[in-house]
């Protein structure tokens, strides 16, 4: 019997963004006649400096920039701030074809995605897909962090750099750096050379407003001599939900 097993992986994007009304999230100074949408202390600036072709935001002499927070409140300092909260989720590569799997070797693959959240208390990224399947048969997924074992049917992932069975994957990267970006890998997916895959697991998160964090998903595939042959497909859906 010829063994030919291929897997095509699609990182499919879902964005159930929780956006409450902005007025409930960004308190403003107002009376029955007037409202101050943003308060600024500094030399000056302009939020919409526009020509017929271009627009820019300008500021001079900001006394403070960046975010500050307590247990009850959060503020974004600086002239060029936006009072509208949002979450942004970008998938950086969307199709992976593994070719043919065999019971005598391990196959790996990677994909990446980027998340940021503004005026938020953070976000969670959840795994929303079943493992790879083939005509009703579902590949055995790792339900706890587990090392690779050649010849044993295994499917798992983590979000860090690995050295076994080869050097692949990467730790999260931060834009512009980790003083502005605060994304973290969930504990069960943060151990080098250990892999897990469980639907509805949180795989990454942030506990504060954050700039871009780019995560690399490292996939691990092993099959046994009794794994059914055929074409295995995974449509991997990751759900990013902001907390406000």
Lowest pLDDT segment from 10-14, 41-45, 62-66, 200-204: 10-14
Shared domain for 120 and 34, answered yes or no, is no
Per-residue pLDDT band for 9 (boundaries 50, 70, 90) equals very low
Q: How many domains does the chain have?
A: 2
Same domain, residue pair 217 and 124: yes
Q: Are residues 41 and 14 in the same domain?
A: no
Name which of 96, 129, 97, 105 is nearest 222 in CA terms: 105
Helices (H), the chain: 22-25
pLDDT above 70 coverage of the chain, percent: 70
pLDDT digits (tens, 9 = 90+) for 21-41: 333 334 456 677 766 655 555
Q: Which of 57, 82, 107 is the last residue of a domain?
A: 82
Domain shared by 129 and 103, yes or no: yes
Q: What are phi and psi of 22, to 5 degrees?
A: -60, -30
Task: Give the whole-angstrom CA distance, residue 160 versus residue 29.
Answer: 45
Q: pLDDT tens digits, residue range 189-205? A: 999 999 999 999 999 99
Name the pLDDT band for 3 (thresholds 50, 70, 90): very low
60-74, 148-162, 225-239: least confidently modelled range: 60-74
pLDDT value for 142? 98
pTM above threshold 0.85: no
In the three-class reduction of DSSP (H, G, I as helix; E, B as strand; rest coil), residue 110 is classed as strand
Q: Structural domain of residue 45, as residue ranges? A: 27-82
> Are 194 and 140 contained in the same domain?
yes
Which stretches of 106-209 are assigned E, i.e. beta strand? 107-118, 122-127, 133-134, 137-138, 154-158, 173-174, 184-185, 202-206
For 150-181, what is each residue's pLDDT tens digit? 999 999 999 999 999 999 999 999 998 988 89
Whether residues 232 and 120 share a domain: the answer is: yes
Q: Is there a single domain that holds both residue 113 and residue 34?
A: no
User: What pLDDT is attached to residue 38?
Assistant: 57
Lowest mean pLDDT among 57-61, 84-88, 219-223: 57-61
Residues 215 and 113 in one domain: yes
Judgement on whether residues 56 and 99 belong to the same structural domain of the protein: no
- The per-residue pLDDT for 32 is 74
Do residues 61 and 172 both lie within one domain?
no
Using CA atoms, how far apart are residues 11 and 216, in angstroms rounded to an integer?
Answer: 12
Q: What DSSP string runs through 51-104?
A: -SS-EEEEEE--S--EEEE-SS-EEEESSS-----EEEEEES--EEE-----TT
Residues 125, 47 share a domain: no
> What is the average pLDDT score of the chain?
80
């Amino acid at each position: 019997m010829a063994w030919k097993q291929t897997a095509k992986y699609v990182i499919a994007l879902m964005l159930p963004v929780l956006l409450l009304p902005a007025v409930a999230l960004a308190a403003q100074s107002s009376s029955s006649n007037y409202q101050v949408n943003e308060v600024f202390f500094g030399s000056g600036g302009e939020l919409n400096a526009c020509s017929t072709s271009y627009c820019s935001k300008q500021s001079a002499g900001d006394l403070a920039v960046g975010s500050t927070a307590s247990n009850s409140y959060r503020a974004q300092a600086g002239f060029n701030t936006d009072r509208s909260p949002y979450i942004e989720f970008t998938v950086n590569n969307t199709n992976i074809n593994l070719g043919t799997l065999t019971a005598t070797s391990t196959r790996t693959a990677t994909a990446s995605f980027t998340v940021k959240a503004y005026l938020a208390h953070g976000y969670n990224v959840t795994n929303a897909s079943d493992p790879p399947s083939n005509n009703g048969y579902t590949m055995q997924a790792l339900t706890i962090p587990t090392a690779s074992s050649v010849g044993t049917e295994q499917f798992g992932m983590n979000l860090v750099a690995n050295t076994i069975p080869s050097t692949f994957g990467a730790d999260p990267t931060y834009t512009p750096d980790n003083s502005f970006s605060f994304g973290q890998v969930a504990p069960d997916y943060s151990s080098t050379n250990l892999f897990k895959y469980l639907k509805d697991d949180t795989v990454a998160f942030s506990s504060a407003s954050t700039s871009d964090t780019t995560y690399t998903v490292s996939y691990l595939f092993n099959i046994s001599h009794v794994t059914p042959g055929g074409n295995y497909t995974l449509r991997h859906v990751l759900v990013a939900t902001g907390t406000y």
